[in-house]
Amino acid sequence: MKKLLITLLLIAGTSFAGQLTHTTAEVDEQLDGVYAEIYVNSNATVQVIPTGSGYTQVTNYSANGDSSLCTPDYVNNKITLTKNGEYRLSTHVSFAGSGSGNTWFGTIFAGGTELADIHFERKIGTGGDHGSAGISGFYACTNAPVDIDFRMRHDAGGDLNLTATYMNLNVHRIGL
């Protein structure tokens, strides 16, 4: 593999001096991909999201998507990163919420910690309205394994119902 990579660099006109800093296995992983997805399609199950400033893990996933060297786990509503590296995390949710004029917030958590740079805010006009939101951002995994999950909250004074009709959570390692 190293010979192939060096040959490709030389063909592309790139000068090469020294040795590769990554093992053959790491280069193979990067070329083959490290990724996973969990999702739900045409869901009608309601989840109660309590009031307050704390986020609640969204639990309506129904299937694992494609994966390689990560562990998708729709039953436990998470993806486990099994390799260190730089990841692009993303989610998209099409949902309905009870209540009127409420704002919904969503974020991704890594290892039980809210990621400050990956959020959305979406106002739902009247109960039963459908809206959608998507977010993505980067996460440096330095201590695998790490669980990744999606959580939501709202600004209402009581419990609200959430129906995540279509939703996915994706991870994709983009660098070592």
pLDDT at residue 1 greater than cutoff 90: no
Q: How many CB atoms lie within 10 A of CB 50?
A: 12
Residues 48 and 83 in one domain: yes
Residues 2 and 78 in one domain: no
| pLDDT at residue 29 in the model | 66
Residues 102 and 24 in one domain: no
Contacts (Cβ under 8 Å, ≥6 apart) of 153: 49, 52, 53, 54, 55, 56, 104, 105
Residues 45 and 25 in one domain: no
Calpha distance 81→148 (Å, rounded):
7
Q: What is the pLDDT of residues 112-132, one digit of tens each?
A: 999 999 999 999 888 778 989
Residues 23 and 82 in one domain: no
Residues 169 and 116 in one domain: yes
Residues 20 and 81 in one domain: no
Residues 20 and 64 in one domain: no
Residues 28 and 95 in one domain: no
Identify the domain containing residue 23 by its residue range.
1-32
Residues 15 and 74 in one domain: no
Q: What is the pLDDT of residues 133-146, one digit of tens each?
A: 999 999 999 999 99
Pairing of strands 102-110, 63-68: unpaired
Asked if residue 55 lies in contact with residue 109, where contact means CB atoms within 8 angstroms, the answer is yes
Counted domains in the chain? 2
Identify the CATH number of the domain in which residue 121 sits: 2.60.120.40
Residues 11 and 60 in one domain: no
Q: What is the pLDDT of residues 57-91, one digit of tens each?
A: 999 999 999 999 999 999 999 999 999 999 999 99
